[in-house]
Amino acid sequence: MARCSDDRGQATSEYVALVLLVALVLALAAGLTSGGIGGQVLAGLQRGLCAVGAGRCPTPLDPGPDLAPCPIERTTSRESLDGAFDIVRLGKSGTLTAVRLSDGRVTVTLADGAAAGVGLTFGFELGAGGEHELEARAEASARIESGRSWTLPSDAAAHAFVDRYGSKATIGGQAVDLLRSRCSILCDAVGWRPHAELPPPDEQYMDHGAAARLQASAGPATAQASADALLGARQRRDGSSTLFMQLDVGAGVEIALGPDGAAPSAQSQAVVSYALDPRGRPTQLVVETVSHGGGGVTLGGSRGAARAGFEAGGGRVTELDATLDLHDPANAAAAKALVAALKDPFATGRVLRAAAAVHERIGQTGVVDRRTYALTSSAFSLGAEGGVGVSFGADFARTHEGMRLLSAETRLPGLPFLPRDDCRVA
């Protein structure tokens, strides 16, 4: 994790660059193919003619050594505990993620995070006699998260790993490990054994960033908006590493219908990753966008100072990512120019020219993957608040999210998007 520690010192100057970079990422994602949207439409028409007539069908890509396996299933379980004292907010979280690949392997990631920030609530009365009340809540926080990943050869091996170590990604499991580490002699005497020690990870990462939340309620409707910006680094066992920048933005509306309600939402994510080999030489630049769309239903209630809630939902997730091979000298020069330009985010013209050059190289030589997933999610929460002069409270939440691959396509240089039958069959 030495590289992770070194990278943290650069975060302050890079946060400003991140905001501008994400705007460029979204622009790049709109035209990741050399033919832009027209090329995608042409490929879609070709598949449609094939289905209903005698048109030529696109030949599925054979999964050769140059094509990475597809993530065909992803499950994420997360627990968080947040506390508030007046306007101060503190949080702790644990996350377990399992990703099944089309080649049969499964990657399991255990992560824990911490956050600290402030939150303010404002109330307004609108209309004659204050007949309408509007409440707004704003929060800002800084967060840090670290995680470790292991790639297992099969589903059975992954299940055995999670059964043995999964509790380390829960709030309760982390508390038990902390208590056990503080009473080694006494606990040894009474036979209280700690959780099993984790094996060396195949990859470990650390990220840090800032988050903002805004929530407004009026009558039965509650609107929410959020933004998260992250900088991080991943270090693999072979010495290679990846530096990444990420931005998440989301919006949603919850409409109360008696004790339950409806909650349509949308979320987008943009990520730029810069991969280095064990000798520190650039190998890949990856531009990725992820969009979530869907809705859900909510159930909730309160009694006194305590409250509880449950939410279930579903939708679609679309992932689009472009990979640029930096062993190509022209690609490497374009990527290097972009990284250099981002060091001075106020030089807008230079950054835009560098981004346009990367976009051109992606169109000419990049490999683009497009995947669509079915999404299901559920969340359960408990909370309480009170105060005598100063308000305080706590919230516990457990969420689960599952993604199942519906379709996968890859576009190689000079070709339209072609289906990945190896991923669909898997």
In this predicted structure, the answer to whether residue 191 has a pLDDT above a threshold of 90 is no
Q: Which long-range contacts (CB under 8 A, 24 or more apart) does 189-197 make?
A: 195/165, 195/167, 195/168, 196/164, 196/165
12-16, 112-116, 326-330 — which is least confidently predicted?
A: 12-16
pTM: 0.77
Q: Are 242 and 288 in contact (CB under 8 A)?
A: no
Exposure on the CB side of residue 72, measured as CA atoms within 13 A:
17
At residue 395, what is the residue type? D
Q: Are 313 and 263 in contact (CB under 8 A)?
A: yes
Most confident option among 49-58, 184-193, 409-418: 409-418
pLDDT at residue number 143: 86
Q: What is the pLDDT of residues 91-100, one digit of tens each?
A: 889 999 999 9
381 Cβ neighbours under 8 A, 6+ residues apart: 308, 309, 310, 395, 396, 397, 398
Measured CA to CA in angstroms, residue 228 lies from 84, 197, 320 at distances of 20, 32, 20
Q: Average pLDDT, stretch 228-243?
A: 90
Measured CA to CA in angstroms, residue 364 lies from 27, 78, 92, 97, 330 at distances of 17, 40, 45, 35, 11
Q: Which of 81, 56, 158 is nearest to 382 (CA)?
A: 81
329 Cβ neighbours under 8 A, 6+ residues apart: none
Q: What is the DSSP letter of 170?
A: S
Question: Which of the two residues, 119 and 287, has the higher pLDDT score?
Answer: 287
pLDDT at residue number 132: 55
Please name the helix (run of DSSP H) or strand (run of DSSP E) that holds residue 8, with its range, or none: helix 2-8
Most confident option among 64-78, 140-154, 189-203, 250-264: 140-154
